[in-house]
């Protein structure tokens, strides 16, 4: 056992010496392998990134929540009415649908500007909310308090501020108790939302200000009867499919839709969003997977080629070593060690390259990237596999050379 | 002499090669014995089969027929791994073209056979340095073969042949590529190795070189003509 270990150490030492002696050739193999590993790194990292994003979305959305949008999103382009959800709908759902514990109508006004002193910031959205915004959206407050029933009932001029505008207007100081202008409406800040920072599709989520829904409707002249979306929370998330079907048939009844009519609303659940994301992930996996596989196979063939060359060029060395007492196994081990050594160095460079590429893709907002030990382990495993797979044949050929043949072959 | 006494004993050893359709018989039944501690020259014109015979003696190749006892062990039918072990332990080689690994230093070349045997690395390195000092290269331990003259390269090869302390030194035209002065130095070193009690088999076609040996075996046309 100890002897075997010592033998392996010595063989590895010889492999290192040979790799260094033929360093130009080694560099080619390293480069070829590095490209393959780089693409593998990007794939694993971006798939992990997509998965993390999916988890964040579900977390934000809540597994117990259905999201009802006015209008059928599939045919919205045709110019269908999107304002189909009324306060009456919300009230009836709350009263009649079993398992519902919260119904939150949502309204929003896009493109508002907030002012404080001489500072200003344009925000993509001002959200109208009923009592308990933080609870409903699973979005903790960094400080201050949430909207109360009373705030909503009397249309109080109060607001929750998102993390980005809070920093923009107040720097590191607390915004609590200060009065800012939302367009022309002065409101007092009663709470600051925690930083959420999910980037990606759509505008950054932290760029927002939240007002009581009544305040938003009255002060910004929005339609008082209809709203754009409705958030419904159920007490047992296990039966979401069942609840969603109930919700659908209730809404169809409330909207007086005949059996053949299309829904004039759209129900989204976390599950549905996940379905979309896993489709996206599948596409990513296929596309990048093929790219990486091709790159790795190319790298493998470069390795195999240069090793065949190496074996024929180093016949004398092989014959000599056998004459001096090397067993076939020792020769095989040396050539495999050389192959795996090179692919491991290639993996190292490939990971560095891949991380660089990943960071670039992330900066260009093409993909979200998550680096982990998984990337490292996959890369190393792939490198060893390539080394063994493509190095085995040339190494076997070298080991099988009879000493006298190898010595003669000069 | 019986088989048990001789270090090397061959009986009816033949070697045939297939050259295309043609079977070429290089060795046509060799019988010979070499006792432990002898210094034997294997002489003959080129094409007489002496190099082939040396490869067979050195276990680098297998006979087509016949028997071979080395130290009383019948080695004709042994497997590759066992042959590697015997070469490693019992036989040191010198070749006409030295066969040093070009990218390794003198010291690393000398150490090489020891890397395939179980000894400790420190002991091995110590012995290799000692041998290089003995052959007069104590100041060139870390030179690459290309930085050494032909005679110096053969000295490195000689040190390498001795690093595992073998019973037998097989030298295949060791001075074939050297000038006469350097040849004489190398032959003196080989003679001193014999004086240490080792068996030396020297393949040569050169009579003055063969004169260093105690006994000559002449080969012609694949047969021993007189021993």
Q: Does B81 touch chain A (CB under 8 A)?
A: yes
**Banded model confidence at residue A79, pLDDT cuts 50, 70, 90:** very low
The pLDDT of residue A203: 63
* Cα dist from A59 to A4, A269, A270, A282, whole Å: 53, 12, 9, 21
Chain A: closest CA distance from residue B213 (Å):
24
Residue A334 has pLDDT above 70, yes or no: yes
- Largest distance between two CA atoms of chain B: 53
Q: Over range B183-211, report the average pLDDT.
A: 92
Phi, psi (deg, nearest 5) at residue B38: -80, 160
Instruction: Calculate what percentage of chain A has a pLDDT beyond 70.
Output: 94
What is the four-CA torsion angle of A206, A212, A216, A218, rounded to 10 degrees? 180
- Chain B residues whose CB is inside 8 A of the A325 CB are 84-85, 87-89, 113, 116-117, 164
Residues across chain A:
410
Distance from C-alpha of A21 to C-alpha of A259, rounded to nearest angstrom: 80
Distance, first Cα to last Cα, chain B: 14
Q: Does B207 touch chain A (CB under 8 A)?
A: no
**Banded model confidence at residue A409, pLDDT cuts 50, 70, 90:** low
Nearest in space to B216 (alpha carbons), one of B91, B52, B224, B198? B224
Mean pLDDT estimate for chain A: 84
Is A43 or A194 the better-scoring residue by pLDDT?
A: A194
Mean pLDDT estimate for chain B: 92
- pLDDT digits over A271-308, tens only? 777 787 778 778 878 887 888 888 888 888 888 888 88
Q: Over range B74-82, report the average pLDDT.
A: 90
Q: Over range A150-155, report the average pLDDT.
A: 88
The answer to whether the Cβ–Cβ distance between B101 and A317 falls below 8 Å is yes
The pLDDT of residue A39: 85
Chain A: closest CA distance from residue B136 (Å):
23
Phi, psi (deg, nearest 5) at residue A194: -65, 155
- Chain B residues whose CB is inside 8 A of the A17 CB are 103-104, 108
- pLDDT digits over A355-407, tens only? 898 888 888 766 677 777 877 888 888 888 988 988 898 889 889 888 888 88
Distance from C-alpha of B177 to C-alpha of B172, rounded to nearest angstrom: 11
Q: Over range A128-153, report the average pLDDT.
A: 86
Order of strands, sheet of B65-70, starting from the edge strand that comes earlier in the sequence: B22-35, B6-19, B65-70, B73-74
Judge whether A332 and A398 are in contact, CB under 8 Å.
yes
The pLDDT of residue A199: 52
Instruction: Calculate what percentage of chain A has a pLDDT beyond 90.
Output: 23
- pLDDT digits over B27-67, tens only? 999 999 999 999 999 999 888 889 899 999 999 999 999 99
Residue of chain A nearest B104, judged by CA positions: A17
**Banded model confidence at residue B1, pLDDT cuts 50, 70, 90:** very low
Distance from C-alpha of A335 to C-alpha of A14, rounded to nearest angstrom: 10
Burial A56-68 (b: 16+ CB within 10 A, else e): bbbebbbebbbbb
Distance from C-alpha of B203 to C-alpha of B160, rounded to nearest angstrom: 19
Residue A27 has pLDDT above 80, yes or no: yes
The answer to whether the Cβ–Cβ distance between B116 and A328 falls below 8 Å is no
Residue A18 has pLDDT above 80, yes or no: yes
- pLDDT digits over B138-173, tens only? 999 999 999 999 999 999 999 999 999 999 999 999
Which pair of tokens denotes residue A51?
A: 């998965």
Which own/partner contact pairs does B213-216 have at CB distance under 8 Å and 24+ positions apart? B213/B39, B213/B40, B213/B41, B214/B38, B214/B39, B214/B40, B215/B38, B215/B39, B215/B40, B215/B41, B216/B40, B216/B41, B216/B42, B216/B43
The pLDDT of residue B86: 95
Burial A110-126 (b: 16+ CB within 10 A, else e): eebebebeeeebebebb
Q: Over range B63-81, report the average pLDDT.
A: 92
Is A58 or A153 the better-scoring residue by pLDDT?
A: A153
Is A257 or A1 the better-scoring residue by pLDDT?
A: A257
Residue B3 has pLDDT above 90, yes or no: no
Phi, psi (deg, nearest 5) at residue B49: 100, 10
The pLDDT of residue A70: 80
Residue of chain B nearest A21, judged by CA positions: B103
Please, what is the angle between helix A373-400 and helix A23-61, to 10°?
150
Q: Does A16 touch chain B (CB under 8 A)?
A: no
The pLDDT of residue B2: 45
Residue of chain A nearest B98, judged by CA positions: A320
Phi, psi (deg, nearest 5) at residue A357: -65, -40
Residue A87 has pLDDT above 50, yes or no: yes
Distance from C-alpha of A210 to C-alpha of A232, rounded to nearest angstrom: 19
Helices and strands, number each (H, E), in chain B = 7, 10
- Chain B residues whose CB is inside 8 A of the A316 CB are 99
Closest Cβ opposite residue B84 in set A10, A316, A326: A326
Q: Does B96 touch chain A (CB under 8 A)?
A: no
* Cα dist from A329 to A34, A354, A404, B84, B113, whole Å: 29, 36, 17, 11, 15
**Banded model confidence at residue A410, pLDDT cuts 50, 70, 90:** very low
Preferred mutation among B15, B58, B80, B98 to probe A, highest tally of A CBs within 10 A:
B80
**Element (H or E) spanning B80, and its range?**
helix B80-90
Which pair of tokens denotes residue B106?
A: 């003198």
Helix (H, G, I), strand (E, B) or coil at B223: strand
Residue A201 has pLDDT above 60, yes or no: no
Q: Does B118 touch chain A (CB under 8 A)?
A: yes
The pLDDT of residue B227: 65
């Amino acid at each position: 056992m100890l002897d075997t270990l010592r033998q392996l150490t010595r063989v590895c030492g010889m492999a290192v010496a040979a790799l260094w002696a033929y360093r130009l050739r080694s560099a080619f193999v390293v480069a070829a392998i590095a490209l393959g590993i780089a693409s593998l790194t990007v794939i694993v990292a971006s798939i992990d990134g997509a998965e993390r994003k999916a988890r964040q979305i579900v977390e934000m959305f809540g597994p117990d929540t259905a999201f009802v949008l006015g209008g059928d999103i599939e045919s919205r382009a045709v110019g269908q009415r999107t304002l189909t959800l009324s306060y009456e709908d919300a009230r009836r759902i709350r009263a009649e649908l079993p398992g519902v514990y919260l119904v939150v109508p949502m309204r929003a006004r896009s493109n508002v500007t907030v002012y404080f002193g001489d500072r200003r910031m344009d925000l993509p959205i001002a959200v109208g909310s009923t009592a308990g915004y933080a609870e409903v959206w699973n979005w903790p407050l960094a400080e201050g308090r949430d909207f109360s029933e009373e705030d909503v009932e009397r249309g109080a001029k109060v607001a929750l501020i998102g993390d980005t505008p809070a920093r923009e207007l107040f720097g590191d100081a607390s915004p609590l108790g200060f009065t800012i202008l939302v367009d022309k409406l002065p409101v007092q800040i009663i709470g600051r939302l925690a930083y959420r920072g999910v980037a990606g599709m759509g505008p950054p989520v932290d760029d927002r200000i939240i007002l009581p829904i009544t305040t938003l409707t009255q002060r910004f002249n929005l339609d008082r009867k209809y709203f754009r979306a409705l958030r419904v929370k159920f007490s047992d998330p296990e039966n979401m499919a069942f609840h969603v079907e109930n919700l659908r048939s209730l809404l169809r009844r409330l909207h007086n839709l005949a059996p053949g009519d299309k829904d004039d609303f759209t129900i989204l659940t976390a599950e549905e969003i996940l379905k979309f994301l896993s489709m996206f992930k599948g596409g990513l996996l296929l596309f990048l997977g093929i790219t990486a596989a091709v790159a790795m196979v190319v790298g493998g063939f470069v390795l195999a080629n240069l090793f065949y060359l190496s074996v024929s060029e180093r016949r004398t060395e092989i014959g000599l070593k056998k004459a001096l007492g090397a067993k076939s196994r020792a020769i095989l081990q040396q050539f495999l060690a050389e192959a795996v050594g090179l692919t491991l160095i290639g993996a190292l460079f490939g990971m560095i390259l891949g991380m660089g590429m990943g960071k670039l893709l992330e900066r260009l907002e093409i993909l979200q990237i998550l680096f982990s030990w998984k990337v490292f382990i996959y890369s190393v495993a792939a490198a060893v596999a390539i080394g063994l797979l493509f190095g085995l044949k040339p190494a076997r050929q070298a080991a099988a050379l009879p000493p006298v043949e190898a010595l003669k072959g000069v | 002499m019986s088989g048990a006494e001789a270090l090397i004993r061959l009986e009816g050893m033949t070697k045939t090669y297939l050259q295309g359709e043609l079977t070429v018989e290089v060795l046509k039944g060799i019988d010979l014995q070499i006792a432990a501690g002898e210094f034997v020259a294997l002489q003959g014109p080129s094409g007489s089969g002496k190099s082939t015979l040396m490869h067979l003696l050195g276990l680098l190749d297998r006979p087509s027929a016949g028997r071979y006892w080395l130290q009383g062990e019948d080695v004709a039918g042994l497997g590759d791994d066992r042959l590697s072990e015997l070469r490693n332990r019992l036989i040191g080689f010198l070749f006409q073209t030295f066969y040093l690994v070009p990218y390794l230093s003198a010291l690393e070349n000398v150490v090489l056979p020891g890397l395939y045997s179980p000894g400790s690395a420190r002991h091995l390195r110590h012995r290799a340095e000692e041998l290089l000092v003995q052959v007069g290269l104590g100041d060139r331990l870390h030179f690459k073969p290309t930085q050494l003259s032909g005679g110096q390269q053969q000295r490195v090869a000689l040190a390498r042949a001795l690093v595992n302390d073998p019973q037998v030194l097989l030298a295949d035209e060791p001075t074939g590529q050297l000038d006469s002065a350097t040849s004489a130095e190398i032959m003196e070193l080989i003679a001193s190795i014999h004086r240490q009690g080792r068996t030396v088999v020297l393949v040569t076609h050169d009579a003055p070189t063969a004169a260093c040996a105690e006994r000559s075996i002449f080969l012609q046309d694949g047969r021993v003509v007189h021993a």
